Amino acid sequence: MSEKILKEIIVKVWRQKNASDKGRFETFTVNNISTDTSFLEMLDILNYQLVEEGKSPIVFDHDCREGICGTCSLFINGRAHGPDDDITTCQLHMRKFKEGETITVEPFRAASFPVIKDLMVDRSAFEKILHAGGFVSVNTGGVPDGNAIPIGYDDAEAAMDAASCIGCGACVATCKNSSAMLFVSAKVSHLARLPQGKVEAARRARAMVSKMDELGFGNCSNTGACEVECPKGISIANIATLNREYLKAKIAE
């Protein structure tokens, strides 16, 4: 794809001082942006511009910038991680936008993801859910040989697919109910499929669902928006697995 220069784009960004501030949009013009520029680089350029003008730069989350860490967020033109499929915001490029276009940028919005500043939100609710049960308990002792535990191909593949969740929160952001079911189901079904995780499957499903409810995430209504916006394309079949695991765990209780 040949490089083009976008002479002018309008960026409408959500600015908010802190969680208690009401927040508002601010509109900026950015000139001469190459279509090969990534979306976050465009925001970097805009921030340089703001710093030079003596204004406060836009705060947003980012880290690896190669789609594996799950730090970047942003709701761009009405979609989590912007107008492209199976990518994180850092993998979004300006070739997806048109000359003179107004780009609306908002933070991920959910009661459980309070805004820290501008576009940066606190997603530590996900960590709290993981602390509740998203792990395999390991005793001390010698390291067992990995190949000594046989795992079927289909289970290994399905577990790996679920394990590819990077915990970015796009599922919550795009869900009309702000439900965290895709995230929780990815963790639960990943570990429940493997012999090491199966042992604690019932306790895990109970603990993670109860923590998810306690933190104020909404209830899944199976719209399927989460799997479309998920950068890793995690299937909502995992949500059916979670429902099954949870019902099983509750019956066994």
Partner 1 sequence: MSSFVNSSIGKKFFMSITGFFLMMFLVVHLSINLLLLFDDSGNLFNQGAHFMATNPLIKIVEPLLALGFVLHILYATYLTLKNQKARPVNYKKADLSKSSSWASRNMFVLGTLILIFLVIHIINFYWQLKVSHTVPGVMVDGVEMENAYGLVAGLFKASLIYCLIYITGAVFLGIHLTHGFWSAFQTIGWNNDIWRKRIEFVGKVFAILIAVGFSIIPLYFLIKF
Residues that bind partner 1 (CB under 8 A): 14, 23, 25, 75, 77-79, 104, 106, 109-112, 174, 176-179, 209-210, 212-213, 216-225, 228-229, 235-237, 239-247, 250, 253
User: Could you give phi then psi for residue 201, rounded to 5 degrees?
Assistant: -55, -45
- In the bound complex, what is the minimum distance in angstroms from residue 95's beta carbon to partner 1? 18
> Taking the CA of residue 67 as centre, how many other CA atoms within 13 Å lie in the half-sphere pointing to its CB?
16
| Amino acid letter for position 234 | I
Which C-beta is closer to partner 1: that of 37 or that of 241? 241
- In the bound complex, what is the minimum distance in angstroms from residue 209's beta carbon to partner 1? 6
- In the bound complex, what is the minimum distance in angstroms from residue 13's beta carbon to partner 1? 11
Alpha helices in 53-151 (DSSP H): 124-133
Which C-beta is closer to partner 1: that of 40 or that of 242? 242
- In the bound complex, what is the minimum distance in angstroms from residue 170's beta carbon to partner 1? 10
The radius of gyration computed from the CA coordinates of the chain, to the nearest angstrom, equals: 20
Which C-beta is closer to partner 1: that of 32 or that of 222? 222
- In the bound complex, what is the minimum distance in angstroms from residue 152's beta carbon to partner 1? 15
User: How many whole angstroms separate alpha carbon 42 and alpha carbon 122?
Assistant: 23
| Amino acid letter for position 51 | V
Which C-beta is closer to partner 1: that of 100 or that of 144? 100
Opening angle at CA 198, ends 130 and 238, nearest 5: 65
Write out the H or E segment, with its range, that includes residue 59: none
Which C-beta is closer to partner 1: that of 47 or that of 243? 243
CB of 104 within 8 A of CB of 76? yes
Which C-beta is closer to partner 1: that of 6 or that of 80? 80
Task: Identify the DSSP state of 141.
Answer: S
- In the bound complex, what is the minimum distance in angstroms from residue 198's beta carbon to partner 1? 17
